[in-house]
Chains A and B, each alone.
Chain A
């Protein structure tokens, strides 16, 4: 441990820490543009200059290591003067097209310029003309005029993806970020470039010009598109009071979690968010003329519980079948396990998940099952859906999820389903398979509910509700708790579950795997 003083504040940090990281630990913000904690310091933006007692010149906070008794001042007159100078030079070539720049509002250059109040330019020379709209990858557009040459993008492609598509070309005032001939940033992590760019030089064509940053709200969530469970931010538009906006979610950004995804997310997770708004089911669908009129969840659950009770009392639970999927959270799977497998002795439980996809050697896994590990730990064995077993004497079927259409064709599945007396589906999406079921009830997505998922490494991650459930949708855990109450088995046990948090605590008591992860 080394004792240092930052702005006269005594601080003990580990040996080898840089001044910038030490200041961060002390809660002091040193402006920086090129430094990113994922990479080694480069020191080319010169924004993080600090004054160190005893040294004749200002030093770079990002690459200077602390020494015993070091006295650092980050707000002295000399430092502020230096920062102003650095900003002025950066602006010498930077076009002030903030009104049409997608980064405006979250641009660090804009923030620092505002902070140091340099509003009058001393430059008379006109700015260099460069490429304004260079397509460097399937989703990326480079504006060389806005670039401040921090080389974060070059370092990302060098250190993280190791694909080396971008580089700094030419020298002096002519130096620019450009793409190597014949290459294009096509790797599965390209979207991160737009996120780490401190200015608006690399923009995302998916988000480009769609809206402005300050209209969006940011909520934490977990990506359910593969079994990695990357931590993400969902940025959504809450809507204008008098005009409707075309969609809710405008972009997904990565959320730092060193244990799972580091700083990054893959392009599948970043650009695959359209499922949140497109093709959704937002109301109850009734496909047969049922005696129930004006359906609501209450009536549906009453209907289900009566059917189940009758089958249970007639000792015909082998006539009940369930189709689950791994988009269900730990809590929901735990409840389903308790109600159907333990209380009702149902044996025909199948899992229908999205088919496996491509994988890479970094974050993306081939399994598109966000909670497979959780289902295994709870005690489900993964039986894929077998139509013969399902058709064999089943009278009552409860299915979850929209993934049937990935594995079976309508003609294949229809004869089997026609034999089943009562079929219910709980899904978030409307697709052609929904017509096979008597009643289809809309459910909330992972982004719209609370709960936890277990990723393939066995890490249990809680997620909170980012968006409101669409239309009449309800989270599955709520449906399950209400159903359990209606079934009147163990009423007092299920009555306590008013939130996923309480269910999780109960899980911790019953399943040792979840115990230590409370």
Chain B
């Protein structure tokens, strides 16, 4: 019997906490809407996509391939990213570069973003710092799967 009463008391206490948060947030939110600056922010939600949160500096977003000074890809097609990739979504085909200092360049470089899990292993594996995941692009949805196959032109952009 006592246990049943305790149960209802807890429910009431919970409701009071929720209501308090609601009214306090509402109060600050109204102040903000009216243009009065306060220390506290009212509602914690962001009005995405109109409003966007700043990404942390160590975030991982869409890949990009780095360029040399002459605009050629820095990638030497060593295929270590292909080897490291746990979702096996990178495909590289190498070709012979006439420049003896470079020797090898990627003729094809495809990332299947529909399979990518954004683990960043490719970035870590790269011995040339040729691939980075810092484009700030995190909205990658497309209408077809083919559009998610990013080739060299799209990645080097």
A residues at B contact (CB < 8 Å): 97, 99-100, 132-133, 208-212, 214-215, 240-243
Contacts and interface: CB of A to CB of B under 8 A. Distances in A.
A270 to B, nearest CB: 20
Interface string B62-106: 000000000000001111101100001101001110001001100
B80 to A, nearest CB: 7
A212 B112 contact: no
15 contacts: A97-B103, A99-B76, A99-B78, A99-B127, A100-B77, A100-B78, A132-B103, A133-B103, A209-B94, A212-B78, A212-B79, A212-B82, A215-B79, A215-B83, A242-B89
Given A240-B91, A242-B88, A100 B100 contact: no
A100 B76 contact: yes
Contacts of A214: 83
A16 to B, nearest CB: 45
A222 B156 CA distance: 45
Given A99-B128, A242-B115, A132 B89 contact: no
B152 interface: no
A202 to B, nearest CB: 15
Contacts of A210: 94
A133 B100 contact: yes
A18 B13 CA distance: 88
B133 interface: no
Per CB-CB distance, the 3 closest pairs between chain A and chain B, nearest first, are: A99-B78, A243-B91, A209-B94
B83 A242 contact: no
Given A100-B104, A210-B94, A243 B110 contact: yes
A212 B83 contact: yes
A214 B76 CA distance: 17
A100 to B, nearest CB: 4
Contacts of A99: 76, 78, 80, 127-128
A81 B79 CA distance: 34
A252 B78 CA distance: 22
Contacts of A211: 79
Given A100-B103, A212-B83, A242-B115, 7 more contacts: A100-B104, A209-B96, A211-B79, A212-B78, A240-B88, A240-B91, A243-B110
Contacts of B77: 100, 209
Nearest to B93: A246
Given A99-B76, A99-B128, A240-B88, A208 B100 contact: no
A99 B126 CA distance: 9
Nearest to B87: A242
B88 A241 contact: yes
Interface string B26-56: 0000000000000000000000000000000
Interface in B109-136: 110, 112, 115, 127-128
A208 B96 contact: yes
A208 B78 CA distance: 12
B93 to A, nearest CB: 8
A210 B77 CA distance: 10
- Quick one: which of A133, A210, A243 has the most chain B CB within 10 A? A243
Contacts of B110: 243
Contacts of B94: 209-210
Contacts of B76: 99-100
A242 B100 contact: no
A474 B90 CA distance: 34
A243 B92 CA distance: 10
A471 B89 CA distance: 26
A208 B94 CA distance: 9
B100 to A, nearest CB: 5
B64 to A, nearest CB: 20
Nearest to A133: B100
A241 B89 CA distance: 9
A214 B78 CA distance: 12
B131 to A, nearest CB: 13
A130 to B, nearest CB: 11
Contacts of B88: 240-242
Contacts of A209: 77, 94-96, 104
Contacts of A133: 100, 103
